[in-house]
Structure 1
Amino acid sequence: MSQVEALYIFDEHNNLILEHVYCARPPSAQLLLPLYLAHPAPRPSLVYLPATNPPTLVHSIIQDRLLFLAPSSVDTEPLLVLEFLHRVADAIEDFLGSPLLATKIEAHYDVVAQLLGEMCDAGIVANTEGNALRDVVEAPSVMKNLLGNMGLPSSSPALGARPSLKPTLTPPGSSPTASPVPWRRANVRHTSNELYVDVVETLSVTLAPSGRPISAFANGSIAFTSKVSGIPDLILRLEAPGGVGNVVQLPVFHPCVRLARWRERPGELSFVPPDGRFVLAGYEVDLLGPDYLLSAHNLKGSANRPSLNIPANVEVKTGLGPAAADFEVRLSLSPRFRSTASSSSTSSISSSGIGPGRPGPGLGGRTGSGFSLGGGAHSGTSAAPQLSDVLVRVPLPAGVRNLADLRPSRGEAQYAPGDAALEWRVSSKDVAALLQLGMGAVATLRGAVVGAVEGDDEDGEGGDGALLGTS
Structure 2
Amino acid sequence: MSASAVYVLDLKGKVLICRNYRGDVDMSEVEHFMPILMEKEEEGMLSPILAHGGVRFMWIKHNNLYLVATSKKNACVSLVFSFLYKVVQVFSEYFKELEEESIRDNFVIIYELLDELMDFGYPQTTDSKILQEYITQEGHKLETGAPRPPATVTNAVSWRSEGIKYRKNEVFLDVIESVNLLVSANGNVLRSEIVGSIKMRVFLSGMPELRLGLNDKVLFDNTGRGKSKSVELEDVKFHQCVRLSRFENDRTISFIPPDGEFELMSYRLNTHVSDHGWVAAHRALPWESGPGSFPGSGLCKAGAGESRGFSLPTGEALDLDRVCDREALAQPHRVHGQGQWLGLGKGHPMGRRPPAELLQAVDLGTPAAAGRVALPGAGRAGCLTFPSGP
Is TM > 0.5 for Structure 1 vs Structure 2? yes
Matched, 1:226 2:225: no
Q: Tell me the equivalent position of 2:379.
A: none
- Provide Cα deviations, 1:439-466, integer angstroms capped at 9, x if missing partner: xxxxxxxxxxxxxxxxxxxxxxxxxxxx
Conservation of the 8 A alpha-carbon contact between 1:209 and 1:315: no
Q: Which has the higher contact order (CA 8 A, sep 6+)?
A: 1
Q: How does 1:225-244 map to 2 (within 5 A)?
A: 225-239=201-215
**Structure 1 residues 269, 55: CA separation in 2 closer, same or farther (over 3 Å shift)?**
same
Quote the Cα distance in structure 2 between the aligned partners of 1:124 and 1:188.
32
Higher-Rg member (1/2):
2
Matched, 1:36 2:3: no
Q: Tell me the equivalent position of 2:237.
A: 252
- Alignment-mate amino acid for residue 115 of structure 2: G
- Alignment-mate amino acid for residue 208 of structure 2: P
Conservation of the 8 A alpha-carbon contact between 1:314 and 1:329: no
CA-atom RMSD in angstroms: 4.0
Quote the Cα distance in structure 1 between the aligned partners of 2:280 and 2:64.
31
Q: Tell me the equivalent position of 1:276.
A: 260
TM superposition score normalised by structure 2: 0.60
Q: Tell me the equivalent position of 1:439.
A: none
Matched, 1:168 2:139: no
Match of 2:169 among 193, 197, 201: 193
Q: Tell me the equivalent position of 2:62.
A: 63
> Equivalent residue of 1:252, what SS?
strand
Q: How does 1:380-395 map to 2 (within 5 A)?
A: none
Match of 1:261 among 236, 246, 254: 246
Quote the Cα distance in structure 2 between the aligned partners of 1:79 and 1:259.
24
Quote the Cα distance in structure 1 between the aligned partners of 2:271 and 2:152.
48
Conservation of the 8 A alpha-carbon contact between 1:211 and 1:314: no
**Structure 1 residues 246, 9: CA separation in 2 closer, same or farther (over 3 Å shift)?**
same
Q: Tell me the equivalent position of 1:53.
A: 53
Deviation at 1:280, TM superposition (A): 1.5
**Structure 1 residues 39, 313: CA separation in 2 closer, same or farther (over 3 Å shift)?**
farther
Quote the Cα distance in structure 2 between the aligned partners of 1:170 and 1:43.
53
Q: Tell me the equivalent position of 2:132.
A: 134
Matched, 1:9 2:4: no
Q: Tell me the equivalent position of 1:336.
A: none
Q: Tell me the equivalent position of 1:93.
A: 92
Quote the Cα distance in structure 2 between the aligned partners of 1:233 and 1:29.
48
> Equivalent residue of 1:85, what SS?
helix
Match of 1:110 among 108, 111, 130: 108
Deviation at 1:308, TM superposition (A): 4.2
Deviation at 1:109, TM superposition (A): 0.9
> Equivalent residue of 1:187, what SS?
coil
Conservation of the 8 A alpha-carbon contact between 2:64 and 2:100: no
Quote the Cα distance in structure 1 between the aligned partners of 2:276 and 2:17.
47
Deviation at 1:282, TM superposition (A): 1.4
**Structure 1 residues 91, 226: CA separation in 2 closer, same or farther (over 3 Å shift)?**
same
Quote the Cα distance in structure 2 between the aligned partners of 1:315 and 1:41.
41
Deviation at 1:44, TM superposition (A): 9.9
Conservation of the 8 A alpha-carbon contact between 1:178 and 1:186: no
Conservation of the 8 A alpha-carbon contact between 2:152 and 2:160: no
Deviation at 1:125, TM superposition (A): 1.3
Q: Tell me the equivalent position of 2:269.
A: 285
Aligned length: 281
- Provide Cα deviations, 1:113-136, integer angstroms capped at 9, x if missing partner: 222211211111111112111112
Conservation of the 8 A alpha-carbon contact between 1:199 and 1:221: yes
- Alignment-mate amino acid for residue 170 of structure 2: E
Q: Tell me the equivalent position of 1:80.
A: 79
Deviation at 1:231, TM superposition (A): 1.3
Deviation at 1:218, TM superposition (A): 2.9
Quote the Cα distance in structure 1 between the aligned partners of 2:46 and 2:159.
28
**Structure 1 residues 277, 121: CA separation in 2 closer, same or farther (over 3 Å shift)?**
same
Structure 1: state its 5+ residue gaps. 145-153, 157-163, 289-305, 333-471
Match of 1:124 among 118, 122, 125: 122
**Structure 1 residues 55, 15: CA separation in 2 closer, same or farther (over 3 Å shift)?**
closer
- Provide Cα deviations, 1:161-201, integer angstroms capped at 9, x if missing partner: xxx9xx42426xx1378672211123222222111112223
- Alignment-mate amino acid for residue 135 of structure 2: V
**Structure 1 residues 54, 198: CA separation in 2 closer, same or farther (over 3 Å shift)?**
same
Q: Tell me the equivalent position of 1:367.
A: none
Quote the Cα distance in structure 2 between the aligned partners of 1:193 and 1:130.
23
Conservation of the 8 A alpha-carbon contact between 1:8 and 1:20: yes
Conservation of the 8 A alpha-carbon contact between 1:197 and 1:222: yes
Q: Tell me the equivalent position of 2:375.
A: none
- Alignment-mate amino acid for residue 260 of structure 1: S
- Provide Cα deviations, 1:76-95, integer angstroms capped at 9, x if missing partner: 44333222222211111111
TM superposition score normalised by structure 1: 0.51
- Provide Cα deviations, 1:188-225, integer angstroms capped at 9, x if missing partner: 22222111112223444344444444443333222121
